[in-house]
Amino acid sequence: MNWSDIASTAATGIVWTAFACFAVVAARNIISLAQLLVAAWVFLTRVQPGEGARDLWHRYADLMLPISVIAPAFNEELSIVQSVKALLALEYPDHEVIVVNDGSKDDTLGELIRAFDMFKADRTQIAQLQQTQIRGTYRSRRYPNLLVIDKENGRKADAANAGIGFARTPLVCVIDADSIIEPDGLLRAAEPFMYQDQRLIAVGGAIRIANGCTIRGGSLQKIGIAKEMVPRFQIVEYLRAFLMNRVANAHTNTLMLISGAFGLFRRSTLVEMGGYRHDTVGEDLELVVRMHRFMREQKRDYRIEFVPDIVCWTEAPAALRGLDNQRARWQQGALETLQRHRGMIGNPRYGRIGLLAMPQIVLEDILGPPAELLGYLVLPVAALLGLLDPIMAVAFFFVSVVFGCALSVGTLVLEEQQLRRTPSASDLLRIGIAAVIENFGYRQINLWYRLQGIRRFFRNDTTWAAVPRVGFTGT
């Protein structure tokens, strides 16, 4: 083969790569646009203004199923007391709080013992789902519905399983220990279980960024936004994820992820499935995918719902340091889940989950990140070399960046029209600005972090780097 043939082959490869990158990015954005339209339709026609907590209490107080709120905690001494106070103060007729200290290296356990007057007490575990040793259980002299489990470190999935094994209630709510549920969150999450019989097995809610908010006594006092741009960018990301993707997917019964920060589950289903898997860094995604697989293979009728009125506030990374590990871990967890359940992809046995939902995850988490990042490099080069019409490179920029801005702003409009959680016009403007400029740099940096997650997946790197925390302010 001479140099002319090599050059011709290389040019052909560049052109085909450019077209493939364009096609993948365009497909992702078409799906996102469809989700935005479905979510808007759902909000406008199905989701009515939520009842107040007092109305929900009066309507369902005698019917609400008891709930165990399970909060795995690892090195959470900065915020654990405030978080537990908020959990104890939740407006719900019958709930127990189970904090699982997952072998923390800081003084998480000591903070709990001192703040809540804890003492060692025996509690029988009725289902052993965790793999590590339980070191002790503690009860509170001041709060009879508070239980603390101290165990060896096994990461979040193992800690959640330990809590599920100690719970005695029909429903269990698994949250992050550094998250704060709005006072009526459990009421809103439990409401669908009142009229779904045994079909409903899980309910998810919206996650919002607590950075910049005022937290006192373990509860949200004032909604605000952070001064730093990185948390503002994440506000936009979370709005897209929860008010666009999750609302649309739940409507079509293809919801594949309930955030690990907040989820309400039927305990019997979790125990029957063996709880969370221990051998993945994306245990929340894997659990829901396995739920779909389990229920469909058992030929059971089931529903997995999403309620946008449920809001759980969580501390997000305030800088790129910490965000890199978080996003790489999310990406790695998605690939691990796809590998483990690859037999579902395109398989009609699993209905719309196999034919629609799983291929969408493939597009988003396998093809999407490398295709978009590569497209930023290949299309301009191809245009400069005369291999492609420059209009093609401009079109790729429009599809990937300008269209991304439009989707973000559209989601923000949807949020403001339906939920109105942004406190002021000036804050709304700040978030709107972030929705635009996140597409110029921040988005591309996140693509790089996701590529690092792909690299970690192929290297079978299971190390866990904790996200740096500064704790809630205004406490």
In this predicted model, what pLDDT tens digit does every residue of 275-310 receive, in sequence order? 999 888 889 999 999 999 999 999 999 999 999 888
Residue 219 belongs to a domain: yes
Q: Are 180 and 440 in contact (CB under 8 A)?
A: no
User: Which distant-in-sequence residues (6+ apart) come within 8 Å of 289 by Cβ?
Assistant: 256, 337, 341, 344, 358
pLDDT-wise least confident of 132-136, 191-195, 456-460:
191-195
The C-alpha torsion from 193 through 260 and 181 to 177, rounded to 10°, is 130
Report the C-alpha dihedral over residues 459, 465, 467, 470, rounded to 10 degrees: -160
Residue 111 lies in a domain: no
Give me the mean pLDDT over the 304-329 stretch. Answer: 89
237 vs 475, residue with greater confidence = 237
Q: Which long-range contacts (CB under 8 A, 24 or more apart) does 234-237 make?
A: 234/209, 234/316, 234/317, 234/323, 235/208, 235/209, 235/431, 235/434, 236/408, 236/411, 236/412, 236/431, 236/434, 236/435, 236/438, 237/438
- Judged against a pLDDT cut of 90, whether residue 194 lies above it is answered with no
How far, in Å, CA of 113 to CA of 137, rounded? Answer: 11
The answer to whether residue 475 scores a pLDDT higher than 60 is: no
Exposure on the CB side of residue 320, measured as CA atoms within 13 A: 10
93 or 423: which leads in pLDDT = 93
Write the Ramachandran bin of 471: left for phi over 0, alpha for psi from -120 to 50, otherwise beta. left
**12: number of Cβ within 10 Å:** 11
Within the chain, what is the greatest distance between any pair of CA atoms?
84
Q: For residue 243, what are the domain limits?
A: 9-44+170-474
Residue 267: which H helix or E strand, with range?
Answer: helix 267-273
142-190 pLDDT, tens digit per residue, is 999 999 999 999 999 999 999 999 999 999 999 987 788 888 889 889 8
Residue 71 predicted with pLDDT over 50: yes
Distance CA(151)–CA(100), nearest Å, equals 7
Q: State yes or no: pLDDT of 445 exceeds 50.
A: yes
Q: Across residues 259-283, what is the average pLDDT?
A: 93
**How much is the pLDDT for 101?**
95
pLDDT at residue number 173: 96
Mean pLDDT of the chain: 88
pLDDT of residue 446: 93
The answer to whether residue 236 sits within a structural domain is yes
Structure tokens at 365: 């988490």
Q: Which of 150-164, 198-212, 308-322, 336-350 shows the lowest mean pLDDT across its residues?
A: 308-322
Mean pLDDT of 88-117: 93
Higher pLDDT, 469 or 267: 267
475 versus 422: the higher-pLDDT residue is 422
Distant-in-sequence, close-in-space partners of 66: CB < 8 Å, separation ≥ 6: 94, 95, 96, 169, 170, 171
First-to-last C-alpha distance (Å) of the chain: 71
Range with the lowest mean pLDDT among 52-61, 85-94, 207-216, 413-422? Answer: 52-61
Mean pLDDT of 91-108: 92
Instruction: Provide the b/e sequence for 308-327 (b: ≥16 CB within 10 Å).
Output: bbbbbbbbbbbeeebbbbbb
pLDDT at 472: 58
DSSP string, 273-285: HTSS-SS-S-HHH
Considering only residues 91 and 25, tell me which one the structure prediction assigns the higher pLDDT: 25
**Residue predicted with more confidence, 334 or 12:** 334
Give residue 112's pLDDT: 96
pLDDT at 361 exceeding the cut of 70: yes
CA torsion, ordered 223, 229, 231, 235, to nearest 10 deg: 70
CB 282 within 8 A of CB 332: yes
Q: Which helix (H) or strand (E) holds 128?
A: none
Kindly tell me if the per-residue pLDDT of 341 is higher than 70: yes
Q: Check if the beta carbon of residue 148 is closer than 8 Å to that of residue 101.
A: yes
Q: Is residue 103 part of a domain?
A: no
Distance between CA atoms of 46 and 31, rounded to whole angstroms?
Answer: 21
Give me the number of domains the chain comprises: 1
* pLDDT for res 52: 59
pLDDT of residue 347: 96
Domain membership flag for residue 181: yes
| DSSP designation for 449 | H
Q: Which residues of 67-90 are buried (b: 16+ CB within 10 A; e: fewer)?
A: bbbbbbbbbbbbbbbbbbbbbbeb
Residue 48 clears pLDDT 60, i.e. is over it: no
The closest alpha carbon to 208, from 227, 192, 226, 193, belongs to 226
Report the C-alpha gap between 196 and 194 in whole angstroms. Answer: 6
DSSP 326-369: HHHHHHHHHHHHHHHTGGGTT-GGGHHIIIIIHHHHHIIIIIHH
Whether 347 is in a domain gets the answer yes
Is 145 a domain residue? no
Q: Is 195 exposed, middle or buried (0-12, 13-18, 19+ CB in 10 A)?
A: exposed
- Residue at 133 is within a domain: no
Residue 315 — very low, low, confident or very high, per pLDDT cuts 50/70/90? confident
User: pLDDT value at position 403?
Assistant: 86
Please give the structure tokens belonging to residue 410.
């559209």
Query: Closest by alpha carbon to 69, among 193, 143, 168, 194?
Result: 168
| Tokens, residue 262 | 């907040």
Burial class from Cβ neighbours inside 10 Å (0-12, 13-18, 19+) for residue 248 reads buried
